[in-house]
Amino acid sequence: MGARTRGVALLLCGLLLAFAETAPAQDTIRVPIPREQLPPDTFVNREARDTVPADSILPAPNLPDFIRPAAGGWWNATYEWSGAELQRFSGVSLLELLERVPGLVVTRAGAFGRPAGVAAFGRGGGRLRVFRDGYELDALSAADFDLQQIPLAGLAAVRVERRLTETRIELTSFRQRDRRPFSEIEAGTGDPQTRFLRGLYAQTVGGATTFLGAFDVADTEGFRRVDAFGVNSLVARLSRLISPRTGLEVEYRQTGVDRFGPPFPEVAVRREALLRGRTQPAPAFTLEGWAGRAARTPGAGDSLGVELESTQLGARAGYQRAVVGLEASARARFGEGGYTGPGVELGARADFRPIPALAATGAVRSSTIRGVTGVELDGSARLALFGGFSVFGSLAVGERPVPFLADQTAQREGVRLRTERLRL
pLDDT of residue 225: 74
pLDDT of residue 240: 95
Report the alpha-carbon angle 104-164-373, nearest 5: 125
pLDDT of residue 221: 83
Q: CA 68 to CA 329: how far, in whole Å?
A: 13
Domain range enclosing 238: 78-423
DSSP lists the bridge partners of residue 235 as: 214, 253
220, part of any domain: yes
If you write DSSP's letter for every residue of 333-378 in order, what string do you get? EES--TTS-SEEEEEEEEEEEEETTEEEEEEEEEEEETTEEEEEEE
Q: Tell me, what amino acid is at 241? A: L
pLDDT of residue 57: 82
Going residue by residue through the chain, which has 424 residues, state the pLDDT in tens, using 9 for 90 and above.
555 666 666 666 665 555 555 555 555 666 666 666 666 666 666 665 656 566 678 889 999 998 887 777 767 788 899 988 988 888 888 888 888 888 888 877 667 778 787 888 766 555 788 999 999 998 888 777 888 888 888 899 999 988 888 889 999 999 988 999 999 999 988 877 788 899 999 999 988 999 999 999 998 887 777 778 899 999 999 999 999 999 999 999 999 999 887 777 889 999 999 999 999 999 899 999 999 999 999 988 887 778 888 999 999 999 998 899 999 999 998 876 656 666 899 999 999 988 888 989 999 999 988 788 889 999 989 898 887 788 888 888 998 887 765 544 444 444 455 666 666 6
3, part of any domain: no
62, part of any domain: no
CATH of the domain at 316: 2.40.160
Q: CA 163 to CA 123: how far, in whole Å?
A: 12
Residues 6+ positions from 239 with CB-CB distance below 8 Å:
61, 62, 63, 209, 210, 211, 212, 247, 248, 249
Q: CA 126 to CA 1: how far, in whole Å?
A: 135
72, part of any domain: no
Q: Are 270 and 296 in contact (CB under 8 A)?
A: yes
Q: Sign of the CA dihedral 357, 355, 362, 96?
A: negative
265, part of any domain: yes
Q: Which helix (H) or strand (E) holds 175?
A: none
Phi, psi (deg, nearest 5) at residue 96: -65, -30
Strands of the 155-162 sheet, one edge to the other: 78-82, 155-162, 167-173, 128-132, 135-136
Q: Left if phi > 0, otherwise alpha if psi is -120 to 50, otherwise beta: which for 177?
A: alpha
What is the pTM assigned to this prediction? 0.81
Q: CA 169 to CA 134: how far, in whole Å?
A: 10
15, part of any domain: no
Domain count, the chain: 1
Burial grade of 122 (CB within 10 A; 0-12, 13-18, 19 or more): exposed
314, part of any domain: yes
Q: CA 327 to CA 316: how far, in whole Å?
A: 7
pLDDT of residue 142: 78
pLDDT of residue 410: 44
174, part of any domain: yes
Q: CA 92 to CA 101: how far, in whole Å?
A: 16
In whole angstroms, how far apart are CA 141 and each of 114, 117, 167, 301, 387? 15, 14, 19, 15, 50
